[in-house]
C-alpha cells in the first residue's frame, strides 16, 4: 500500500497557476512551520515579518521547483536562507544570551521564555526546528511529520533528543521517568 497523497500537493500546483486560494491554503498550512524555522535563527521580534517574506519569495521562485513533492523541504530551505541573509545584512546587536544573562527560573523550575528561546537557537537545526514546531507553534508530532515530510519516527527522535539537549543546556535535570 502506497503513501497517501499529501493534502497540500494540489495547492502547490494551484499556486503555480497563480490561484490565490491555493496560495492562501499553502500559507495557512505551512506558516507555523516556516515561523518555527525562522524563530530558531533570528530574534523573535523579526520572525513574523520574515515568515511573510519567505512566502513572497516562495511565490516568486515556485516556477523553479522541479518536484512538487519536495515542496516542504524546498520551502524550509527558503526560510533558512532568508534567515541567514537577514543575519548577514543586519548590524550586530546584543544577542538574547547577552541581554538575558542571569534570568532566574520561574516557579516551575523553567527559565524565562527568552532564555529558553535563546538556548533553542543554539541546538542543531534538526532538533531546534522540530522543538520550535512543537513547543512554540503547538504542532503535534504527526502534524510535523506531514508538513515536513519526515517520518513520524524521525520526528519523535528529534523531539526526544532535542528536549534532552535543551534541558542539559539550560541546566535542568532530565525529565523524570525518562532515559534522557
Distance between CA atoms of 111 and 103, rounded to whole angstroms? 7
Which of 62, 92, 122 is where one domain is finished?
92
Residue 1 is assigned to a structural domain of this protein:
no
pLDDT band, residue 62 (cuts 50/70/90):
very high
pLDDT band, residue 3 (cuts 50/70/90):
low
Distance between CA atoms of 77 and 54, rounded to whole angstroms? 10
Tens of pLDDT, residue by residue over 24-46, are 999 999 999 999 999 999 999 99
Give the C-alpha distances (Å, rounded to integers) separating 149 from 49, 88, 123: 25, 29, 21
Residues, the chain: 180
Mean pLDDT of the chain: 88
Give the C-alpha distances (Å, rounded to integers) separating 19 from 11, 52, 75, 78, 106: 9, 18, 18, 21, 47
Domain limits at 103? 94-180
Which of 92, 107, 123 is where one domain is finished?
92
Are the beta carbons of 174 and 34 closer than 8 angstroms? no
Shared-domain flag, residues 109 and 163: yes
Residue 37, domain CATH = 1.10.1740.10
Cell reading at 103:
534570568
Q: For residue 97, how many other CB atoms are within 10 A of its CB?
A: 14
Q: How many structural domains comprise the chain?
A: 2
Amino acid at each position: 500500500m502506497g503513501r497517501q497523497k499529501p493534502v497540500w500537493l494540489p495547492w502547490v500546483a494551484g499556486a503555480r497557476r497563480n490561484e490565490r486560494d491555493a496560495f492562501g491554503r499553502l500559507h495557512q498550512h505551512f506558516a507555523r512551520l516556516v515561523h518555527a524555522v525562522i524563530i530558531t535563527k533570528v530574534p523573535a521580534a523579526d520572525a513574523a515579518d520574515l515568515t511573510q517574506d519567505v512566502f513572497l519569495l516562495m511565490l516568486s521562485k515556485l516556477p523553479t521547483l522541479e518536484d512538487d513533492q519536495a515542496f516542504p523541504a524546498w520551502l524550509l530551505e527558503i526560510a533558512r536562507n532568508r534567515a541567514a541573509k537577514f543575519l548577514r545584512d543586519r548590524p550586530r546587536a546584543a544577542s538574547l544570551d547577552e541581554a538575558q544573562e542571569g534570568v532566574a527560573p520561574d516557579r516551575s523550575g523553567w527559565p524565562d521564555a527568552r532564555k529558553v528561546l535563546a538556548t533553542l537557537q543554539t541546538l542543531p537545526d534538526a532538533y531546534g526546528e522540530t522543538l520550535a514546531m512543537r513547543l512554540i507553534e503547538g504542532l503535534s508530532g504527526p502534524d510535523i511529520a506531514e508538513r515536513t515530510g519526515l517520518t513520524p519516527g524521525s520526528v519523535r527522535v528529534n523531539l526526544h533528543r532535542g528536549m534532552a539537549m535543551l534541558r542539559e543546556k539550560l541546566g535542568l535535570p532530565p525529565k523524570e521517568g525518562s532515559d534522557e
